[in-house]
Amino acid sequence: MPKVKHRHSKTRGRKRRTHYKIAASALVKCSQCGKEKVSHKICPYCGYYDGRQIKHIETKEERKARKEKKSKSGKE
């Protein structure tokens, strides 16, 4: 069984851990709306991927309309 011979100093451990970094995720401009999005993912703003609409993204107006409809049905 391997056994640790000497403890490392705090500095030594900390120096090693300076390399533990999270790489920033690659952002690309959406070809549809031009906003920044994560590459190889559906654009969260327009729902497009590879020139096709994959997901329907609600506009502000649609959202408002839906909320109003919901609140009305709740009262009745």
Tell me: does residue 30 bind Zn ion (CB under 5 A).
yes
Task: Based on the shown chain and the rule CB under 5 A, indicate whether residue 32 belongs to the binding site for Zn ion.
Answer: yes
- In order of 6, 9, 14, 51, 63, the CA distances from 48 in angstroms are 56, 52, 44, 6, 19
Give min distance, CB of 34 to Zn ion, in A: 7
Residues pairing with 29 in the sheet: 36
Decide if residue 42 touches Zn ion (CB under 5 A): no
Q: Among residues 14 and 41, whose Cβ is nearest to Zn ion?
A: 41
Sign of the torsion formed by the C-alpha atoms of 36, 42, 47 and 53? positive
Q: List contacts with Zn ion (CB under 5 A).
A: 30, 32-33, 43, 45-46
